Structure 1
Amino acid sequence: MENYKTNPQLFDEYSELLKALAHPVRLCIAKGLLDAGSSNVSNMQNCLDMPQSTISQHVSKLKSAGIIKGERNGLEIIYSVSNDKVKDIIKALF
């Protein structure tokens, strides 16, 4: 119970992460990236069977929330989960 009083910012941080993960597609993307280690949007598109633009919008939300990062590799961007707290959340869920 001490964390409630000593670190209210922790709850704010977790709340924002959970908001970003609350959409089924974003949760699926984060889980898939965690399982695979990394992926580009084209691979995500094949797995999710959704338009690239839809996946890109969700990837953008995850990036803005600090959940994933992208690294350029030639013409493509390879995404991976970069937040250890999110890794713990996903492991707990699944």
Structure 2
Amino acid sequence: MDADYIKYSEITEILKVLAHPIRLCIVKGILDQGQCNVSHMQTCLKIPQSTVSQHLQKLRYAGVIEGNRKGLEVNYKITDERIIKLINSILILS
């Protein structure tokens, strides 16, 4: 057993932020699409834009996603290869 549990703090924060069904769905959708904007997410999830934005903010803060602005539109993509591997390993992809 490793007594230096401090080194696991980054991954535990990522796991915490992914431990919400809407955020997990957002990350899975971005993974499937390669990138995605808020309007598309809102339509797919059938939830208010403000709710999507709140979840995106948490994902951005945790370093799971990043946004690239093109005019008025922001497209989000997954920034960390570990996230892609994690999502692929816990969700069965068809």
Q: How does 1:27-66 map to 2 (within 5 A)?
A: 27-66=24-63
Runs of 4+ in 1 over 4 A off after TM superposition: 5-8
TM-score (norm 2): 0.89
Aligned to 2:10: 13
Task: Name stretches of at least 5 consecutive residues in structure 2 with no aligned partner.
Answer: none
TM-score (norm 1): 0.89
Q: For 1:20-60, what per-residue CA distance to the aligned partner results, in whole angstroms no more than 9, with x for missing partners? A: 10110000000110111001000001110000000000000
**Superposition RMSD on alpha carbons, in Å?**
1.5
Task: Name stretches of at least 5 consecutive residues in structure 1 with no aligned partner.
Answer: none
More helix by share: 1
CA positional deviation for 1:84 = 1.3
State the one-letter code of the partner of 1:78.
Answer: N
